[in-house]
Amino acid sequence: MKKVLSFVLVFMLVLGVTACGSSKKSSDKVKVYVFFAGGCPYCENEIQYLKSLEDYDKTFEIVEKELYVDHIQWQPGKDYDTGVKVATAFYEKGFKNASYQGTPFVVISNIYAEASYNPNVADIIKQAYEEGDEDVVGKIEKGESYNIPEFQTETDKKISDLKKCVTVNCIITYSLLGLIIIYLVYSKVKTNNKSIRVKETKEEKELKEVKHTAKKSAKKKK
All structural domains of the chain: 30-151 (3.40.30.10)
Q: Which of 177, 164, 188 is nearest to 9 (CA)?
A: 177
Amino acid (1-letter code) at residue 25: K
Integer angstrom CA distances of residue 208 from 44, 48, 197, 201, 204:
102, 98, 16, 10, 6
- d(CA 3, CA 5) in angstroms, rounded, equals 6
Which pLDDT score is estimated for 211?
A: 62
Which pLDDT score is estimated for 22?
A: 47
3-state helix, strand, coil in the chain (%, to 5): 60, 10, 30
Contact (CB, 8 A) for 165 and 20: yes
Which pLDDT score is estimated for 181?
A: 82
- d(CA 55, CA 180) in angstroms, rounded, equals 48
Cross-strand bridge partners of residue 76: 68
Taking only the tens of pLDDT, the chain with its 222 residues reads 555 555 555 555 555 554 555 444 556 999 999 999 999 999 999 999 999 999 999 999 999 999 999 999 999 999 999 999 999 999 999 999 999 999 999 999 999 999 989 999 999 999 999 999 999 999 999 999 999 999 986 554 555 456 557 665 667 776 777 778 887 777 766 676 666 666 666 666 666 666 666 666 666 655
Q: Which of 6, 70, 5, 67 is nearest to 35 (CA)?
A: 67
- 194's enclosing H/E stretch is helix 154-221
- d(CA 137, CA 135) in angstroms, rounded, equals 6
Cα 26 off chain centre by: 13
The number of beta carbons lying within 10 Å of the beta carbon of residue 152 is 13
Which pLDDT score is estimated for 73?
A: 94
pTM for the model: 0.63
Which pLDDT score is estimated for 23?
A: 46
Amino acid (1-letter code) at residue 142: K
